């Protein structure tokens, strides 16, 4: 993933002498918008995300991007996907026919839907354990509630019940986040009575924008294999909706969740990065949107081993779209959205912080840790910012004390 983010007033995309002319928008009169030119076949990005108030895109610019296989995604102020322009998808009529037949085949449809929710449930539990390592163990009540829902999921045989279980697991997850995350994040809930996209706190505003980026990656992946996005298996087909896109998002929402939490823990965003609309909805400023997309780019491009090879997570999403297509047309007999399993290790767990704060200067010296390094570690361990520890120091900390 390497998206070009354009945000603000006066965005412009045009073509001059075969070169794409890009002009970013402005949000502050004091700063001149960035302008640059891109030669044919030398684009440094693989998609364009436009979060703009005003601007123009010429037909030549659209053709230039499509010929370079670069999709365009336009977001509304609240992070919802308003429109997308995708390169021509593979012509595969038999795949689309098979997809509709699979949708009508209730056992096969339920199998796909259950695999999606099983993967999402596992990643939900992984993220909660990842948070627990920093903010305290899961309470017995949370563990009991999760165990009950996971047992119900294993025994579930009907789609309506499956959706009900998914909803309860989501409720447990968001309530847990509200309980453990620092109050400075301002997070209350995702389970609003009103539309979830109407973010009133920084974390929800970041999540909305992050999920839009994830949606763009899923749309691109489905388009690349020729699956029809309006025919899903977990989410119902509805007018103006893209249920298969939402299906594919479910096992990978953790990519956005962990990125947003890590950014907030590192104080990457402050009050100046947001502003409130007349309807009290919080919106990201262009600079904040670019910071978030850069953090997501790093996360989506992080490597993971799958079938003996290393892939980036955005490639994994595309591979899983291909596996889904293979199952639909009968080339595959099984699906597994839970693989590969990501690593949720963190260097700033509470146990590591406690270990650092318990170290004496003499004990640190025995481990080969310098006095000034110990001072830095103690200073960071007492704070609430992310504690970054170099691998060599982490190895020394893991050694047994003699």
Cβ burial of 360 (10 Å; 0-12, 13-18, 19+) is exposed
Three-state secondary-structure class, residue 14:
strand
DSSP 190: S
Strand 3-8 relative to strand 47-52, pairing: parallel
Domains of the chain plus CATH, in order, are: 3-70 (3.100.10.20), 93-328 (1.20.120.920), 350-397 (no CATH)
Residue 21 has pLDDT above 60, yes or no: yes
pLDDT band at 192 (very low <50, low <70, confident <90, very high): low
Q: Provide the percentage of residues in the chain whose pLDDT is more than 70.
A: 93
pLDDT(319) > 80: yes
Position 347 pLDDT exceeds 70: no
Instruction: With a cut of 80, say whether residue 288 has pLDDT above it.
Output: yes
Stretch among 249-253, 301-305, 376-380 having the lowest mean pLDDT: 376-380
Q: Specify the pTM.
A: 0.86
Count of Cβ atoms closer than 10 Å to residue 391 Cβ: 8
- Above 60 in pLDDT, residue 100? yes
Q: Please, which pLDDT band fits residue 193 given cuts at 50, 70 and 90?
A: very low
- Distance (Å, whole) CA 217 – CA 369: 43
- For residues 75 and 53, the answer to whether their CB atoms sit within 8 Å is no
The DSSP-derived string for 292-308 is HHHHHHHHHT-EEEETT
Distance CA 293, CA 291 (A): 6
Average pLDDT for 247-262: 96
Strands of 219-330, DSSP E: 274-276, 282-284, 303-306, 309-312
Give 194's pLDDT tier (boundaries 50, 70, 90): very low
Find the range with the poorest average confidence among 82-86, 95-99, 120-124, 135-139. Answer: 135-139
Distance CA 253, CA 211 (A): 7
350-360 pLDDT per residue, tens: 677 777 778 88
8 A C-beta contact, residue 296 and residue 259: yes
Q: For residue range 46-69, list pLDDT tens digits in order.
A: 999 998 778 999 999 999 999 999
- 80: three-class secondary structure by DSSP: coil
Q: Residue 74: is its pLDDT beyond 60? A: yes
């Amino acid at each position: 993933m390497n998206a070009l983010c354009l945000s603000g007033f006066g965005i412009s995309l045009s073509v001059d002498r075969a070169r794409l002319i890009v002009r970013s928008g402005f949000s502050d009169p004091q700063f001149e918008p960035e302008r640059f030119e891109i030669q044919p076949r030398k684009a440094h990005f693989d998609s364009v995300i436009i979060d703009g108030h005003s601007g123009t895109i010429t037909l030549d610019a659209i053709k230039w991007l499509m010929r370079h296989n670069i999709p365009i995604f336009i977001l509304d102020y609240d992070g919802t996907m308003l429109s997308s322009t995708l390169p021509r998808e593979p012509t595969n009529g038999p795949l689309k026919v098979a997809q509709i037949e699979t949708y009508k085949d209730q056992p096969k449809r339920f199998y796909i839907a259950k695999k999606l929710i099983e993967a999402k449930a596992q990643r939900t539990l992984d993220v909660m354990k990842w948070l627990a390592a920093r903010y305290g163990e899961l309470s017995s009540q949370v563990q009991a509630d999760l165990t009950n829902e996971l047992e119900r999921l294993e025994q579930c045989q009907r789609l309506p019940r499956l959706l009900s279980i998914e909803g309860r697991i989501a409720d447990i997850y968001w309530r847990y986040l509200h309980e453990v995350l620092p109050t400075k994040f301002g997070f209350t809930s995702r389970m609003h009575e009103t539309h979830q996209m109407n973010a009133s706190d920084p974390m929800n505003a970041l999540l909305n924008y992050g999920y839009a980026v994830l949606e763009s990656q899923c749309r691109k992946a489905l388009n690349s294999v020729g699956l029809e996005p309006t025919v899903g298996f977990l989410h119902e087909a509805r007018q103006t909706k893209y249920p298969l896109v939402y299906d594919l998002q479910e096992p990978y929402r953790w990519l956005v969740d962990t990125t947003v939490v890590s950014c907030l823990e590192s104080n990457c965003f402050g009050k100046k990065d947001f502003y409130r609309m007349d309807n009290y909805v919080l919106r990201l400023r262009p600079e904040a949107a670019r910071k978030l997309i850069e953090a997501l780019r790093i996360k989506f491009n992080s490597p993971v081993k799958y079938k003996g090879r290393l892939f980036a997570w955005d490639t994994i999403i595309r591979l899983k779209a291909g596996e889904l297509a293979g199952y639909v047309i009968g080339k595959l007999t099984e699906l597994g959205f839970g693989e590969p399993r990501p690593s949720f290790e963190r260097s700033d767990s509470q146990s590591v912080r406690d270990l650092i704060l318990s170290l004496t200067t003499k004990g640190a010296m025995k481990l080969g840790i310098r006095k000034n390094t110990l001072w830095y570690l103690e200073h960071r361990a007492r704070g609430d910012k992310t504690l970054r520890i170099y691998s060599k120091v982490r190895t020394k900390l893991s050694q047994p004390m003699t």
